[in-house]
Amino acid sequence: MINQTIRKTMLLLLGVVILLGACAPTGEVEIAPSATPTLEPTAAPTETPTAIPEPSPTPTPLPLDGQQTQYFIDATINYYNRFISATSRVIYTNKTQVPLNEIVFIIYPTIFQDAIFIRSIKLGDGTAISIFNWESHRMLIPLEEPLLPGEQIEIVHEFELYMPNREGTFGQTGRQLNLAYWFPIIPPYDEEQGWLVYEISIVNSMIVGEHLVFEAADFNVTLAFSDRRENFSIAAGAPANETDDVINYQLNLARTFTISISDIFTVTERQVDGITILSYAFPEDAASGEAAADITVDAVRLYSELFGPPERDLISVVEADFLHGMEFDGLILLSRGFYMFHDGTPKTNLTIITPHEISHQWFFSLVGNNQALEPWLDETLATYAEVLFYERYYPDLVEWWWENRVDGHGPSGYVDNTIYLEAGYDAYRNSVYLNGARFMQELREAVGEEAFFNFLYDYVRSHRYQIATGEDFWRTLQAHTAADLSDIVARYFSTPPAIP
């Protein structure tokens, strides 16, 4: 059954004032959800995707034993007409110990009016799937025979995207096309809770946190363009392999696959610890794009030392034609405001938020979490990673960071709040982000430097590719300290864990 935490939907605009938050899906939402997509033939012109040999699933290492979900996506993009024709083939293995009677897909574009048209749904052998149900932006496909533990199923969606004219992680402006959560996604399944699917939380026209939960999966994505490939720069979370204007990406053990495309990007390249950094900026912000690349180099070097390598070959840093920051696997989107108002000093949002989003390569991409119910496991840690950045590179500005980023905004509330706070975004930010940073500082002081950083390193390395929980956090911490944390935990957490 589907875990239902039904709430409302969206808008979050942080300005470029120092600094209210990060990691928020963006833009005004024309949330009148689209009518349930039909499967009748469309009259719209479609492009025939370029034919390429179909790749075989790539063996991947432990700890997932090769059972991670595999996505094979072919898309043909007509950038100037804002139209995409795509096929998504997913191979899903039942990784649980119970039979599954249905498969659930999150169809995120259905949130936006007329943004997606599903042409067909089939099994891997070509058998049409005609029976399915809709719940909000989710497609539920009942199975004729239960999928037993260890068994696989292959499902193919053919669909079209009509990109909404909007600023956001899914949308297209006159300067940029962003494709986040753009293909059918299978959420994790928990044997006690069922499918981990949630509704967007919106209070007073502002989105509160992120509601999607992802398991680690493999992505093989092929792109072609029907209009002037030579015009476009494509930012992605994996290196491109391009032959005859057909671009292939392989991104393994990632939470999702996101791209950003523009015909005006300027690109800056850096190298750090064997990782390529590509920074994409609009022409008027080219200097800030170079600064973002340099900040990213410093952040990757520091966090690789503290948390271990990010296990990525490439990280793309992209100026976004909206007013927020957002993290994805191997790619981050940063508000154009951060670039426009960067003055070359570290007292700017570009210097604060770039390390925050980069740290999500560890706390989100490498170590997943339930972003709806336990958002502190990525946002608290990512916010605290900011001050670690300032401690290393700008120690004379640490006090400034605390005042401008945290204390000046009144940190308060329980760190373990969910995204479904009736008080809305400010209360969520003040508790999960800001009071979360205060909690991490007190925890560090209580357990000592060595235990604190050994714990963080251990937490990341022992839970990579998994969906970690608060219990995992506390259990790992207990292995590194015998300090009495009861007072700290009681003050910061609404549901204190049982700590000896």
Residue 142: is the preceding peptide bond cis (ω within 30°)?
no
Residue 221 is which amino acid? V
Instruction: Report the pLDDT value the prediction gives residue 16, as an integer from 0 to 100.
Output: 34
Residues 6+ apart with CB under 8 A from 385: 303, 355, 356, 359, 363
Question: pLDDT (tens digit, 9 = 90+) per residue, 402-426?
Answer: 999 999 999 999 999 999 999 999 9
Question: pLDDT (tens digit, 9 = 90+) per residue, 329-370?
Answer: 999 999 999 999 999 999 999 999 999 999 999 999 999 999
Residue 157 burial by CB count (10 A; 0-12/13-18/19+): exposed, middle or buried?
buried
Here the tokens at position 128 are 């049409």
Report, as an integer, the average pLDDT of 444-455: 98
Instruction: Report the pLDDT value the prediction gives residue 18, as an integer from 0 to 100.
Output: 39
Question: pLDDT (tens digit, 9 = 90+) per residue, 5-14?
Answer: 333 333 333 3
Q: Is the pLDDT of residue 498 over 80?
A: no
Instruction: Report the pLDDT value the prediction gives residue 275, as an integer from 0 to 100.
Output: 98
C-alpha dist (Å) from residue 378 to 22, 363, 384, 389, 498: 12, 5, 10, 16, 21
Bridge-based pairing state of the strands 138-147 and 246-254 = unpaired
C-alpha dist (Å) from residue 159 to 41, 107, 115, 140, 355: 11, 11, 10, 17, 36
Instruction: Report the pLDDT value the prediction gives residue 8, as an integer from 0 to 100.
Output: 32
Model's pTM, two decimal places? Answer: 0.89
Instruction: Report the pLDDT value the prediction gives residue 64, as an integer from 0 to 100.
Output: 75
Q: Is the pLDDT of residue 497 over 60?
A: yes
383: closest CA among 410, 401, 365? 401
CA 190 to chain centre: 20
Report, as an integer, the average pLDDT of 70-84: 98
Alpha helices in 194-343 (DSSP H): 286-307, 336-340
225: closest CA among 205, 210, 240? 240
Question: Counting every residue, how long is the chain?
Answer: 500
Residue 475 burial by CB count (10 A; 0-12/13-18/19+): exposed, middle or buried?
middle
Question: pLDDT (tens digit, 9 = 90+) per residue, 91-109?
Answer: 999 999 999 999 999 999 9
Q: What SS3 class is residue 147?
A: strand
- The order of strands in the sheet holding 233-236 is 171-172, 177-179, 259-262, 233-236
Arithmetic mean of pLDDT over the chain: 89
- Confidence band for 80, pLDDT divided at 50, 70 and 90: very high
C-beta neighbour count of 167 within 10 angstroms: 21
Question: pLDDT (tens digit, 9 = 90+) per residue, 136-185?
Answer: 999 999 999 999 999 999 999 999 999 999 999 999 999 999 999 999 99
Residue 287 is which amino acid? A
- Confidence band for 62, pLDDT divided at 50, 70 and 90: low
Q: What SS3 class is residue 395?
A: helix
- Confidence band for 65, pLDDT divided at 50, 70 and 90: confident
- Confidence band for 38, pLDDT divided at 50, 70 and 90: very low
Q: Which CATH superfamily is domain 69-492 in?
A: Neutral Protease Domain 2 (1.10.390.10)
Question: pLDDT (tens digit, 9 = 90+) per residue, 286-304?
Answer: 999 999 999 999 999 999 9
Instruction: Report the pLDDT value the prediction gives residue 25, as an integer from 0 to 100.
Output: 58
Q: Is the pLDDT of residue 266 over 50?
A: yes
Question: pLDDT (tens digit, 9 = 90+) per residue, 207-239?
Answer: 999 999 999 999 999 999 999 999 999 999 999
